[in-house]
Amino acid sequence: MATETEAQKGLEIHPMDQFLVTPVLGDGPLMWYSFSNTAMWMAITLLGVIIFLVVGTRKKSYVPDRFQMVVELIYGFVRNMVQDVAGRDALPFFPYIMTAFMFVIFSNVLGLIPMSFTPTSHIAVTATLALTVFISVTVIGFVKHGLGFLGLFWISSAPLPLRPVLAVIEIMSYFVRPISHSIRLAGNMMAGHAMIKVFAAFAGVMGLGAFVPIIAISAVYGLELLVAFIQAYVFTILTCVYLKDALHPQH
């Protein structure tokens, strides 16, 4: 009976439903303070970060076990990234960058659990993160160098007549940074999840032929896992690049 109803209705796919922000507690409309699914999965992200960083290092062993080794590996990876890209003088900002990396990577990976929610697939979240980075590095740039920070836009190695033109382009590119920084992450997360949902809907109506979309889902899922890590890395390394520009604005 149900199959007949499905057939009569045809194929209905709602790949964007998974991104709806809805309250988890209570039936009322979403208020600014409601404990929503976004809040719940951010709380789970926090829990994951605590388990990973705090529980993983509880033994404080000289010779680390596997768990501690992974934690130290991530610590060394992010610390070296900050130092190599932005320089040694960027190390005081390492905790902020580590926070952003842990939040993004845990949100991305936890979002791959079926029926879960991915906060980083929302532009509101990624834009807030990117704007925080943008405003912070701009303030750091002006605090460290005063008006000398504007030298970032004045390419002294270019021929003199070209410098004003390049300065306009540089300023535009500077202000586009938070947009590209946020849309890149949200777009990548949203696209993969939506694609998996579309394939899953195909599998639901294809009967025995469902193995084709299931194989496709498995393949895309593997790709999404890779994308989750890569996007966290890209978001963090771009933060380091922007920080480097703020700390060393001279061209």
Residues making contact with another protein (CB under 8 A): 12, 14, 16-17, 19-21, 30-36, 38-39, 42-43, 45-46, 49-50, 53-54, 57, 60-62, 64, 68, 71-72, 75-76, 94-96, 98-99, 102-103, 119, 121-125, 128-129, 186, 190
Least spacing, CB of residue 166 vs another protein, in Å: 34
* Comparison of 10 and 146: residue with beta carbon closer to another protein: 10
Least spacing, CB of residue 25 vs another protein, in Å: 13
Contacts with 222 (C-beta within 8 Å, 6 or more apart), sequence order: none
* Comparison of 41 and 153: residue with beta carbon closer to another protein: 41
Count CB-CB contacts under 10 A for residue 16.
11
* Comparison of 130 and 152: residue with beta carbon closer to another protein: 130
* Comparison of 19 and 153: residue with beta carbon closer to another protein: 19
* Comparison of 7 and 30: residue with beta carbon closer to another protein: 30
Least spacing, CB of residue 239 vs another protein, in Å: 14
Angstrom distance (rounded) from CA 118 to CA 106: 10
Q: What is the three-state SS of the chain?
A: CHHHHHHHHCCCCCCCHHHCCCECCCCCCCCCCCCEHHHHHHHHHHHHHHHHHHHCCCCCCCCCCHHHHHHHHHHHHHHHHHHHHHCHHHHHHHHHHHHHHHHHHHHHHHCCCCCCCCHHHCHHHHHHHHHHHHHHHHHHHHHHHHHHHHHHHCCCCCCHHHHHHHHHHHHHHHHHHHHHHHHHHHHHHHHHHHHHHHHHHHHHHCHHHHHHHHHHHHHHHHHHHHHHHHHHHHHHHHHHHHHHHHHCCCC
Least spacing, CB of residue 114 vs another protein, in Å: 18
* Comparison of 31 and 165: residue with beta carbon closer to another protein: 31
* Comparison of 131 and 150: residue with beta carbon closer to another protein: 131
Angstrom distance (rounded) from CA 100 to CA 93: 11
Q: Are 24 and 37 in contact (CB under 8 A)?
A: yes
Least spacing, CB of residue 156 vs another protein, in Å: 37
Q: Are 57 and 75 in contact (CB under 8 A)?
A: no
Least spacing, CB of residue 150 vs another protein, in Å: 30
Least spacing, CB of residue 236 vs another protein, in Å: 13
